[in-house]
Each structure stands twice: as C-alpha cells, then as structure tokens.
Amino acid sequence: MELKSYTAQELWDWAFGSVPKFLLLDVRNDKDFARSKVEAPGLWVQNLSYIDFIEEEAESLGKVAAQKDQPVRIVCAKDGSARYVAEVLVKAGFSNVASLAGGITTWGDLLVHKLVHLDQEFELYQFQRPGKGSLSYALVGHAQMWVFDPARVLEPYLTLAKSKGVVITNLFETHLQADYVSGGKALAAATGAKLWGHPGDFAGADYKIGPVTDHQNWELSKNLAVTAIHTPGHTPGSTSYQIAGTFLLTGDALLIHSLGRPDLGGMWEPWAKEEFVTLETKIKAWPDSQILLPGHFSDWTERNPQGLFARSLGEVKALNPEIFLPMKEDEFLAYIQGRVRPQPEEYSVIRTLNLGQGEKSEAELKELDLGKNQCAASTH
C-alpha cells in the first residue's frame, strides 16, 4: 500500500493558508506531545498514542475526531510509527491520510522568512521557527548579508543569500542561547563570516568570536549602521542591536509580552538586579517609535496583521503595564521571583554546546532542539 506523505513546509502552508479543515493527529506519547507540539492559530490537533493503536486498535479508531471523509495528517517522532497508524486509518476507511515525512524534528527545524522592511538602502527579514518559537534575522544590503541569532539549520540563510546575490559577512549573537543550538559557529565556518558576541556570555567560548562592546558600531554603508546596546539581565552578556536607528533586535532582553527570564543561569537574583537596571536606564528610555524585533515568541497572538512578530515600543509598553509602570528594585525582584520556574533539563546541555564544548550527533542535536522555548519571565 502506497501511503501519502507531506513536508513540514506544506504543514506550515496549510496551517496558515486557506486549505480545507484537517485533523493533525499526533501519535506520540503524552510526555513527548506535551514537550513539543505543532501549534498554529485555529489548528485542529488531537493526540492519540500509536501504542494505543497497536494495543487497542478498534477503541483508538473510535476516538479519532475526524470523519472518514475529512483529511487527516499524522505526525510522530519517526516515519515508521506514523505509517503504521496511517495504514490502520486507511484500512478502516479514512480516505485522505498522510504522514509527516521525517517526523516531528522536521517541524522543529523549519525556518520561514518574512520581509520586515524594504527600501533602497537595505532589506530586513525575520526568520520564524514555529516549532521552537524562536526568531532570527537577516539584514541584506550593499552586496552583503548579516545574520542575527542564526539557528542550527543553515540552509535557509544560505538560500536567501544566494537568491539575493550577496555574501554573508557578519554574524551576531544577542546572547548565549539556552533553548536551541546556535548555528553561529557553523555558519561562520561555512561562509567565512565574522562572528560577534558579548564577552559577558562568550568569554569562555572554545571558538573564535569577536568581542562586542556597548555602543559599538558596524557600518554596512555610510547611511546604514548597526549599533550594539548592552542590555544585561536575561544573561550577563545580553546585547540588543539597533538597525538604522529604528529597528531593535533585542534577543530576550525585551519580548512582546514579557522580559527574558533571568534565572536560566542559576543566579536569578543578581541577574534580575542587572535586568532591573537595564529596564530602568535603557529600555524605558527607548522612544515609543522604535520597532521591537524580539528573539522569541510565546504565542501566535503576538504576531501583527502582517504576520510578523514586530511591535512599536509604544505598543509593547501598553501590553506590559506591570513592567513599565514605576517600580522599585525590591518590587521588581518580587515580580521576577514569582515567575521563576524549573527549566528544561536540556538547557544546561545546550548552553555548553553553544560555547563550543562537547559534541553531539545530528540526531542528538535534533532531539535537543525540540520543544517550545521557555525563555520569558512568565508563569507558564
């Protein structure tokens, strides 16, 4: 029996397009489903373990939420499990069934780029990673491309550079990532680009990385510069990058609905004190007209009408009154302490890898990279 398959890119197109309603049937176990699931506005998702289909086929078929003439798209960790369930459904009379080629890790690795800004001087793109809730950026102009917070999968950046006829020359890290494996080191090796990061995070890195200092400038042309703004708190080396005096790539220093959590390094109080100073002396002073481009998102409702995770600082301030109202340090520390929560076990491993220490196979890296980020200072 020949079974149909679909790709992660097709799943994105369906989830955010106008195709007929379909059921996304995730057949992994409850624990894996809770750790990393496919999310999109209005997506119809059901979790039924493939083990249940093996042990109690008839009962499991009765639980499938879709009618037999409705499309069912299966996702699992591995092709074999998905194909098994697909065969069961087809034999039971479901007429439109397909499984995700390559399994859930292909969704975890998917990057989709969207145009943020275009003028005669430069183009700015946002790379959205739906499986992680992470965002990276590419600045294109004057025969060059600069990438900010590159993810582990390099092909999308290389493909964009090739399509634009430009060379990747600079790479910037906003901070030492804990939730995903950075592609900075690998992209630098693949392209010869120079990699930059603040010594507060990268002083111990086992690879070459240029030290970033507060107010440092990089000029793409006489009319276009990128300026580093040291914004510690989420991590000691957290750095925001201002492009053309307008766009603020903040990493996790400031998110659309929160600040970055300062407890991922195991020192929440001293880092939170730094975060308070950053908030009071830098972030609150940024003009309302500046455009925030964060490093992560928590929910698809954070997108603007153009499908971008981008808001003016004025909008962000209105969305976060508890952060931007006047407060004292002890009040801020209490606010943060109420949002300290356990972090995923893999975060310590990822931080170590992002310093160039230790090695993992590609399969292990894919597994580490699964799961939605937990980088915001929030209660969930």
Q: How far apart are CA 45 and CA 178, in angstroms?
A: 28
Q: Sort strands 210-211 and 144-148 into parallel, antiparallel or unpaired.
A: unpaired
E strands along the chain, which residues?
4-6, 23-26, 44-47, 72-75, 97-100, 112-118, 123-129, 134-141, 144-148, 167-172, 194-197, 210-211, 217-221, 224-230, 239-243, 247-251, 291-294, 311-312
Neighbours of 344 (CB within 10 A): 17
SS3 state at 94: coil
Q: How far apart are CA 313 and CA 73, in angstroms?
A: 39
Q: Tell me the sheet residues that pair with 26.
A: 47, 75
Q: Give yes or no: 76 in active site.
A: yes
SS3 state at 147: strand
DSSP 261-304: PTTTTS-HHHHHHHHHHHHHHTGGGS-TTSEEEESB-S-GGGS-
Amino acid identity of residue 143, one-letter, is: A
Rg (the chain; Cα; Å): 22
Identified catalytic residue from 76, 88, 147, 176 = 76
Helices 155-164 and 184-191, axial angle in degrees (round to 10): 40
Give the number of C-alpha atoms closer than 13 A to the C-alpha of residue 338, restricted to the C-beta side.
Answer: 6
SS3 state at 45: strand
Q: How far apart are CA 176 and CA 154, in angstroms?
A: 18
Q: Tell me the sheet residues that pair with 118.
A: 123
Say which residue the tokens 């481009």 belong to. 293
SS3 state at 316: helix
Helices 329-337 and 268-281, axial angle in degrees (round to 10): 130
DSSP state of 193: P
Q: How far apart are CA 245 and CA 371, in angstroms?
A: 34
Residue numbers annotated as active site: 76
